[in-house]
């Protein structure tokens, strides 16, 4: 996000979806929040299992904020990370529906 090399934007987007779903389900606070924390941890574990990290600079193998190659790296590698994030999130949501 913002070429900082920190948390992957695809990961951040998925965590936002998880949080929004659980906020909408439970306005009282704690149980929805705890469920969101649990699912976020599960999501991050699976994303790391598939990709080795959630940090952009580690996923891309470069500091995209300093080099001219950043656009090339983004277009070559980021679609896979977005796809993985979407697949993991979809699997989690399907599992939740089945419960």
Residue by residue, DSSP assigns 58-91 as HHHTS-TTT-TTHHHHHHHHHHHHHHHHHHHHHH
Q: What is the pTM of this model?
A: 0.85
Q: Which two tokens stand for residue 7?
A: 């948390």
pLDDT, one tens digit per residue, over 53-93 is 999 989 988 877 766 666 777 788 899 999 999 999 999 98
Domain ranges, ordered by start, for the chain: 9-98
pLDDT of residue 68: 61
Q: How crowded is residue 19: how many other Cβ atoms within 10 Å of its Cβ? A: 16
The proportion of the chain whose per-residue pLDDT surpasses 70, expressed as a percent, equals: 88
Q: Average model confidence (pLDDT) for the chain?
A: 86
């Amino acid at each position: 996000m913002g070429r900082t090399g920190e948390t992957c934007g695809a990961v951040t987007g998925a965590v936002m979806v998880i949080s929004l779903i659980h906020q909408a389900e439970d306005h009282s606070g704690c149980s929805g929040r705890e469920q969101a924390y649990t699912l976020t941890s599960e999501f991050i574990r699976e994303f790391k299992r598939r990709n080795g990290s959630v940090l952009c600079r580690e996923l891309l193998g470069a500091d995209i904020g300093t080099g001219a190659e950043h656009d090339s790296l983004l277009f070559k590698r980021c679609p896979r990370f977005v796809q993985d994030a979407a697949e993991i999130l979809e699997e989690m949501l399907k599992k939740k529906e089945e419960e």
